[in-house]
Structure 1
């Protein structure tokens, strides 16, 4: 698809032709010896947009000048602050604005949504997930089934790769769903597995789960801001994600929630309630009796987290300008270029375990080292390359297309070629 070269000229030409290249200047980069680092760690924490500080100052000014009046006045009245992010997120996640909201943090939202949709019976009580899911997801599912008095060893089904393989085969996932049949209550897969970088076929998993009578939920922590979604059309029941990775909203930033309209518009869909999820027409009557809003914001519990949301709001302005489809197109090119250059490093003993098919991965490539992985990672860090390490033996390399260039990828390759 691409005629790559190991000459730096390829990178320089690709950057010159990149219609998104200007966005690199919109971010702050950590420094190493007075120069910008090569930052390939947006899958863990995105960089800070330069206009974030001004966005925070705007809300500080409203607090300073209006105090409680900031809920109804000021530049961005706080009463509706969570709604300011929904138009951009709806485009990015491929859903209706009424199906998406922001609140809390990722694992809190996962707990809340699972409590809404996991309704175990004596015969239908099992939850299926990928083996080796991110620990937070494992803990959340484990404690959920314990909450209902169930044994995790019996209630949780973990699907593992075949012997000698590191990736899950789609046919194995679908076959297991079919085999569980009427015992399956829910599937909960990561959209992208954090360790391998494998993008799962969410449409196929959803269809199979719902055919079996189960709820299909997803943790999209490594998908949001990375790959454009079609959550509504795929008919996923619910999804959650964080915004501090590819969405560049900062550490501890507000989490995102998708609830399909078939559930969101139904006031009888169970959920844990709070003041902010109540119908706005009756909210200030201060009466008993929760009346949920018939959209995803009916799951909001507490007052909008203004200072946990402002950074996401600021970052989404850049995503609106860049366009998630254009970012994805660049990402496919950038990651393929990275893969090509890595394959030239035959003197370094590692294996790329992320799928080679661009349709089965995002921006992240996972390099598996049978030995010395952590040592090599630490040497990369000292060389001005910011990547991260996950046991056992994987260095995750993620050139985020919003602020990474083809020259960054070439410099990464050159450092590895000459120093490792």
Structure 2
């Protein structure tokens, strides 16, 4: 049954009163600009700071002060640094829909993408193509380009032409989003030469959530691996990576997972690969067998599961911030967060359409089907463009501008409210009226 919305403050307040997650807003610091609390719509770029983060970090700073290097092993500590990478596993596995041994926090996203491609992009003269979405985030594009050039010319022999190896799927002419059937058809078309399908879980520009299960099934039928960049999906979509049979994935934690600017990434590796010591990988000492690690011997013996892809010991200070936020996710639960997200994003969409009735200012380029999006709406500006974005910013709306003409808004269920969506619609009208007068 579709939710029936009303364009009134009373309705928005009623929705907030009935919201079982309403108290989690108090867990976060809301930015104040020009003396006024903003409406924060950029959790898809940087999540807000949980209030408990400071205490988590200060605890590790105090332990460093008290124990020094012994903080790694001292049994008086309740979170021994040597095992710090394990403390996020339970929460991460619930968020990603994986087994605890299939996930681990480590490195940064682009580093992890390179490391995973070492293991899962192993081209031959026959099977060498990678299918990606056109307009992928630039960092991913650079990874694809450099990986293809490395494999194509490494060793002095040209194994394949890197210009022909990257297959980019774009929406049909006149459309803004990719159709699942077009992705699958492309996989089937290139199956004889296909080595890897590697796309974003949620497209950063349009906010489209792809059908990861169907894409994975098609890739496997073509004899290829399926991997995903989940930067905009982790903590946003209720993922089921293990059940969908996804081979590998990586994500950042500073967007919806609220772990702090530039903080740690994470990886998922399906268990069928995690216990295979023969799979190629770039190794580091923290991925080496825990029982053998301090013997300092040659010969890499990988830890079981995703842990075997680790390179270095954990950044404890950043890791503490990560765990602080994951604790909130464990309390709230992804099922409840996703349920609110659908309602909250739907309400914002409804209100924007109400404004659009008076004069068509926007084109929504995010799918209207809630199953095909997370908590982001991307608005193509048909009038006013950057001037409208700036006007909104001046009135306390902290959104995101993407060239050449898109405003991205991400109403995050942990800390955004229904009344904020109503307030935004009023500010939007005021901003448009102000621009008309100029």
Task: Report the TM range for the smaller structure's normalisation.
Answer: over 0.9
Q: Secondary structure at the match of 1:239?
A: strand
Residues 99 and 264, structure 1, Cα contact 8 Å, conserved in 2 = yes
Structure 1 CA distance for aligned equivalents of residues 28 and 78 of structure 2: 24
Matched, 1:267 2:268: no
Residues 241 and 255, structure 1, Cα contact 8 Å, conserved in 2 = yes
Cα displacement (A) at 1:376:
1.6
Q: Which moved more, 1:8-17 or 1:29-38?
A: 29-38
Q: Secondary structure at the match of 1:396?
A: strand
Aligned to 1:304: 314
Q: Deviations over 1:317-367 (max 9, x none)?
A: 111111111000000000000000000112351101100100000000000
Matched, 1:63 2:64: yes
Residues 98 and 261, structure 1, Cα contact 8 Å, conserved in 2 = yes
Residues 29 and 49, structure 2, Cα contact 8 Å, conserved in 1 = yes
Aligned to 1:250: 260
Cα displacement (A) at 1:308:
1.9
Aligned to 2:37: 36
Cα displacement (A) at 1:273:
0.6
Question: Which 5+ residue runs of structure 2 have no aligned equivalent?
Answer: 154-159, 433-438
Aligned to 1:121: 124
Show structure 1 runs of 4+ deviating over 6 A.
none
Cα displacement (A) at 1:3:
1.4
Residues 62 and 75, structure 1, Cα contact 8 Å, conserved in 2 = no
Matched, 1:222 2:235: no
Matched, 1:210 2:223: no
Aligned to 1:19: 20
Equivalent position to 1:201, from 207, 211, 214: 211
Q: Secondary structure at the match of 2:181?
A: helix
Q: Deviations over 1:265-304 (max 9, x none)?
A: 1111111111100111111111111000121000001011
Over aligned residue pairs, what C-alpha RMSD do you find?
1.0
Structure 2 CA distance for aligned equivalents of residues 94 and 15 of structure 1: 28
Equivalent position to 1:143, from 135, 142, 146: 146
Equivalent position to 2:167, from 149, 157, 162: 157
Equivalent position to 1:237, from 243, 247, 250: 247
Q: Deviations over 1:7-37 (max 9, x none)?
A: 1111000000001000001100111343311
Matched, 1:87 2:90: yes
**Could you state the TM-score of these two structures normalised by the residue count of structure 1?**
0.98
Cα displacement (A) at 1:384:
0.5
Aligned to 2:5: 4
Residues 252 and 308, structure 1, Cα contact 8 Å, conserved in 2 = no
Q: Secondary structure at the match of 2:292?
A: helix
Structure 2 CA distance for aligned equivalents of residues 373 and 42 of structure 1: 22
Count residues with an aligned counterpart. 420
Matched, 1:178 2:179: no
